[in-house]
Structure 1
């Protein structure tokens, strides 16, 4: 059976600051856990491969299931220490790609053409392109063979301006997800800040914030069962 590819950031700090960022832990563990409950295997890739930093703020929002998954040797090795490089990925091995969030992705996801090519190859094979929270940044610049944006005409979601304000990061982020999505012809839907919300439009599935990772996974699972 084909697998799901989880994309994570290599960025350790907000650009131009000393403030640490990285992967939002639960967005990777909760998504992966839901898939593994169904016997679906996952692989982990990052723009540079290798080490993936954790956003220290994400550790404040862990529960027992997140911690248990985090503590497994498989996750620590494959998801945090030894992620694959895009050049090592064969899109034919996957039926979906999932962009996990954390603020770091805003700097190394949008312009990574290797990851965009992988995502588009999976999509063209009737696969799914999915994301949660800031991970939607990875979808912004994916284009099809006609040079049209993948999200053009699609309804999607991601971390919102109001959530940036509540997080205290509105002044340091390089862009707002809603603004950039709408520039590319997408319809950006959102619900109340920090409430679980995930939506599907065709083969694109997106979640609004860190509390939406399981819902994104469940939507994906529903489609492949």
Structure 2
């Protein structure tokens, strides 16, 4: 296996636009993915739409397990993944074998229309790399275009992400600027979800997506396996 570089994307958004409810990245969607990448020997970098500080959704700390606390207790991880992420302008996409968009509701406001991140993902994909995401983070993929065909990378692909049912059960459907499921479908994705808050991952070529927070580890495992098979 050849060690690869993986780019993890996290949100800068601290609260819902329509309420004072706190949000941010869902910590486990970073830590569980990073756990798998690190175990496979890959190098990880971190970027956010604005660079710098990444807020953590407080609900994700309440749901944290041993893997989350292991990484949250790592000073190097906290500095690079949460306190001082790179700006998109500092990223050389040719260095990366994959991009991974972590979720958390904050991503709904600063991922989908960020052209700098789109260009990074498009370059990685055009260079034979993987575009991946989990939960709300997958909205970062909906405007990414396959440069060979000129259509969205999700077009015709089997995909998943945080479902409208999960949003409704979470009590956040009315606070969302749009719905993840709708955005993926509008991009031409063949969307499917399974039971709420149960791990579910779909792979179609070099597109790997996970439905919800419990899916982050499996996205990491599937990406690690795909990189090893290249």
Q: Which band: TM-score by shorter chain? A: over 0.9
3-state DSSP of counterpart to 1:97: strand
Unpaired stretches in structure 2, ≥5 consecutive residues? none
Match of 1:159 among 159, 162, 167: 162
Aligned-pair CA distance for 1:147: 3.5
Q: Which residue of 2 aligns with 1:126?
A: 128
Q: Which residue of 1 aligns with 2:52?
A: 50
Aligned-pair CA distance for 1:150: 1.2
After TM superposition, list the pairs within 5 Å mapping 1:160-199 onto structure 2.
Answer: 160-199=163-202
Question: What does the per-residue CA deviation read over 1:69-96, in whole Å, with 9 as the maximum and x for residues that have no partner?
Answer: 1110111100010000000000111100
Match of 1:87 among 83, 86, 89: 89
3-state DSSP of counterpart to 1:4: strand
1:211 aligns with 2:214: yes
Aligned-pair CA distance for 1:52: 0.2
Q: Which residue of 2 aligns with 1:68?
A: 70
3-state DSSP of counterpart to 2:80: helix
Equivalent-residue separation in structure 1 for 2:218 and 2:151 (angstroms): 28
Aligned-pair CA distance for 1:101: 0.1
> Moved runs in structure 1, 4+ residues, more than 2 A?
144-147
In 1, are the aligned partners of 2:142 and 2:187 still within 8 Å (CA)? Answer: yes
Equivalent-residue separation in structure 1 for 2:187 and 2:68 (angstroms): 34
Equivalent-residue separation in structure 2 for 1:224 and 1:181 (angstroms): 25
Q: Which residue of 2 aligns with 1:147?
A: 150
Aligned-pair CA distance for 1:130: 0.2
Aligned residues: 225
Aligned-pair CA distance for 1:149: 1.1
Aligned-pair CA distance for 1:35: 0.7
Unpaired stretches in structure 1, ≥5 consecutive residues? none
- Calculate the TM-score normalised by the size of structure 1: 0.98
- Calculate the TM-score normalised by the size of structure 2: 0.96
Aligned-pair CA distance for 1:224: 1.4
Equivalent-residue separation in structure 2 for 1:43 and 1:8 (angstroms): 11
Q: Which residue of 1 aligns with 2:107?
A: 105
Question: What does the per-residue CA deviation read over 1:139-177, in whole Å, with 9 as the maximum and x for residues that have no partner?
Answer: 111123353111111110000011111111011011111
Aligned-pair CA distance for 1:179: 1.3
1:26 aligns with 2:28: yes
Q: Which residue of 2 aligns with 1:14?
A: 16
